[in-house]
Amino acid sequence: MAATVRPRRSALYVPGSNERALDKARTLPADVLLLDLEDAVAPDAKEAARRNVLAALAARASFGLRELVVRVNGLDTPWGHGDLVALAASGADAILLPKVESADAVRRARAVLAAAGAEETLPLWCMMETPRGILHAEEIADAPGVACLVMGTSDLTKDLHALHTGERLPMLVALGTCLLAARAAGIAILDGVHLDLNDAEGFLAACRQGRELGFDGKTLIHPSQIGPANAAFGPDAAAVEQARRIVAAYEEARARGAGVAVLDGRLIEVLHVREAERILALAAAIEERGG
């Protein structure tokens, strides 16, 4: 399934040190679970978190169709190398690398995984959360094995000495740069988190903005954010119906031998059909996992 078709509307960070949260995650309607060994885990809990995550991955079937991605510690930390070695053959759907700033960082992680027995096809996801990382977004997205970029807007805001604003104007250059890199490489991309759990309206606005920009979904810090994110980033009934009409009109025109298809007075080109087909495939995948 293409990177932009597999549902990734909601990607919930789950602290690896929190066994109750890991257990509860099996029942949550998130498309992606980001099992976290990095920021959400205190230094003295790193080893226990790794064991908890490995145990969760060993029970992979109990998570159903949810995509299980593990965010490891960086290779420049005391735990990063051990994380990659332990996860090489763990059954994780992907490994999320923190603070990626170059394609070389991706290659270094891939080398450690390969030496530990990981399959070459194990996808790598990359956190885009530093100014240098944003400047190197294209080479990171094009690095072999990279399947998704994940925006780390909190760290990026700090590094830029910017402000958290409702419109996220300080983030737009970085968001757009990474979107261009991801789409040029044909890979997925997820928007950053919304930190204020009491700001439901602001969260919805951020979801709408992310969807309008072209993100596949949003990273989340609390289960209460899953439903709104799924609604914002999934095609609604009207979009699905319109996609069906576009495909049907195009196929009918081709059957008649017509060179042009018209729907509601508008020309339909191949690019419209391809996007309609993507929407229908996404809707079917969402329905398969229960909505």
Residue 13 near residue 34 (C-beta atoms within 8 A): yes
Residues 256 and 128 in one domain: no
Q: 190 and 128: one domain?
A: yes
Q: Let me know if residue 93 belongs to a domain.
A: yes
Residues 38 and 100 in one domain: yes
Please count the structural domains in the chain.
2
What is the spatial distance between Cα 211 and Cα 228, in angstroms, rounded to a whole number?
Answer: 12
CA distance 229 to 196: 15
Are residue 142 and residue 222 in the same domain, yes or no?
yes
Residues 6+ apart with CB under 8 A from 260: 253, 267, 268
Pairwise CA distance, residues 285 & 279, whole Å = 10
The pLDDT of residue 1 = 41
Q: How far apart are CA 192 and CA 221, in angstroms?
A: 10
Residues 214 and 244 in one domain: no
CATH at 180: 3.20.20.60
Which band of pLDDT confidence, cut at 50, 70 and 90, is reported for residue 146? very high
Domain interval for residue 260: 237-288
Domain contains 129: yes
pLDDT band at 124 (very low <50, low <70, confident <90, very high): very high
61: DSSP letter? G
Buried b (16+ CB within 10 A) or exposed e, 156-184: bbeebeeeeeeebebbeebbebbbebbee
Same domain, 147 and 268: no
- Pair 82, 30 in one domain: yes
Residues 25, 93, single domain; the answer is yes
pLDDT confidence of residue 3: 55
1-11 pLDDT tens trace: 455 689 999 99
What would you measure as the largest C-alpha separation in the chain, in angstroms? Answer: 69
Same domain, residue pair 168 and 260 = no
pLDDT digits (tens, 9 = 90+) for 213-240: 999 999 999 999 999 999 999 999 999 9
> Strand 124-128 vs strand 67-71: parallel, antiparallel, or unpaired?
unpaired
pLDDT (0 to 100) of residue 4: 61
